[in-house]
Every structure is written in structure tokens, then in C-alpha cells.
């Protein structure tokens, strides 16, 4: 497929974006977008890629649109009993583990069940936790995280360095329809 200025203009209009708004989202001037659409300039490949990314994802939901806010965290030193009670009370199947401000692991139902034994209640979270969930930006598109959720139970959503939400497989199911 050949991308021309008229192709970009058509996609922009379908996305219901003005030249000014597209320029803001791409990080170029409105005049540059106008020249590209008129075929008066030959834009860099990186600029065309940014434009296409904005135009093809503009109608798509972002992580911030579907994430669950108010993430419940555990500490490595917490007991499995304490964390499992929290999981049952809040009907959640995984809890990220924080050491200070760093995500160091994830306690999951599966992880607890794998280590199930007579003294599991007194075990520390650090002894049963799985690796940390992947962390994505709140502006990441849902289509980007779909493959991650095929392999992992959830993804953490960050604003800068701060975790502001979590998306699980069930959150993704809620977007159907």
C-alpha cells in the first residue's frame, strides 16, 4: 500500500481529527500536516509512522479507559494467609508485590496452590510469589496488551513511574460489546 498525502487526509477525516489535533498528537506543526496532505513535502518515515499510529489507534481504547484503579499491593514480608484473605475478600486472583516503590513480584492463586502445604499460611509472600506482571503506560492501546494477557494473568498500568491501575483478563472480557 502506498501512503500518500490524500491517504493520510482520508484517514484523518475518518478519525474525526482536525489537522491541528493530529499535529499535536504527532508532535509536528499543523502547517506541516497541511503540506503533507497537499503533497507539498516529503515527510520523514518516522513522521509518517507516527501519523499512521495516531490515526489507526485514535478510535481504540487505551489502558487508562479500562484499567481497575486502586491496586491492592502486598509486601514481600506479608504472610500468605494475610494476602489470601485479601484476595478472597476483594475477589481478585493476583496481587502485585512492592518492595518500597519497586514491583518485585506477583502473588497469584496458582502460585499459592503450587506451594500448598500444612504451613502455607505462615509462609512469607516472597517465598511463593511469581515474577512481576508486565508494566505498560496508561496510554498503551488495548490491542497492544492483548498478547501479554494471553501469557500473563494481568498487566500493571503506570503513569510515569507510579502504578495507577491493573488490567486482568476479566477486564478485557468486559470490553466485548
Which domains are delineated in the chain? 5-57 (1.10.260.40), 64-173 (3.10.580.10)
Structure confidence at residue 115 (pLDDT): 86
Distances 16 to 3, 12, 22, 59, 97 between C-alpha atoms, Å:
19, 6, 10, 9, 42
Structure confidence at residue 71 (pLDDT): 94
Do residues 123 and 80 touch, judged by C-beta distance below 8 A? yes
**Eight-class DSSP state of 58:** T
What is the pLDDT confidence band of residue 83, given thresholds at 50, 70 and 90? very high
Task: Tell me the pLDDT of the chain averaged across its residues.
Answer: 90
Q: Has residue 177 got a pLDDT over 70?
A: no
Structure confidence at residue 163 (pLDDT): 94
Q: How far apart are CA 33 and CA 8, in angstroms?
A: 9
What is the pLDDT confidence band of residue 174, given thresholds at 50, 70 and 90? confident
- The mean pLDDT of 6-32, rounded to a whole number, is 89
Q: Which residues contact 168 (CB under 8 A, 6 or more apart)?
A: 68, 92, 93, 94, 149, 153, 154
Burial class from Cβ neighbours inside 10 Å (0-12, 13-18, 19+) for residue 127 reads: exposed
- The mean pLDDT of 80-98, rounded to a whole number, is 95
Amino acid at each position: 500500500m502506498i501512503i500518500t498525502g490524500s491517504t493520510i487526509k482520508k484517514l484523518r477525516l475518518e478519525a474525526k481529527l482536525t489537522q491541528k489535533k493530529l499535529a499535536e498528537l504527532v508532535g509536528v506543526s499543523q502547517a506541516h500536516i497541511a503540506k503533507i496532505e497537499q503533497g507539498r513535502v516529503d515527510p520523514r518515515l518516522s513522521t509518517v509512522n507516527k501519523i499512521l499510529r495516531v490515526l489507526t489507534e485514535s478510535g481504540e481504547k487505551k489502558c487508562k479507559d479500562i484499567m481497575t484503579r486502586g491496586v491492592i499491593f502486598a509486601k514481600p514480608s506479608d504472610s500468605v494467609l494475610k494476602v489470601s484473605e485479601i484476595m478472597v475478600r476483594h475477589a481478585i486472583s493476583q496481587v502485585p508485590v512492592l518492595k518500597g516503590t519497586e514491583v518485585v513480584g506477583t502473588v497469584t492463586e496458582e502460585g499459592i496452590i503450587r506451594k500448598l502445604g500444612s504451613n502455607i499460611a505462615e509462609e512469607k509472600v516472597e517465598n511463593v510469589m511469581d515474577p512481576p506482571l508486565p508494566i505498560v503506560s496508561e496510554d498503551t492501546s488495548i490491542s497492544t496488551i492483548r498478547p501479554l494477557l494471553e501469557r500473563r494473568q494481568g498487566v500493571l498500568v503506570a503513569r510515569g513511574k507510579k502504578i495507577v491501575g491493573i488490567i486482568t483478563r476479566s477486564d478485557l472480557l468486559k470490553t466485548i460489546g
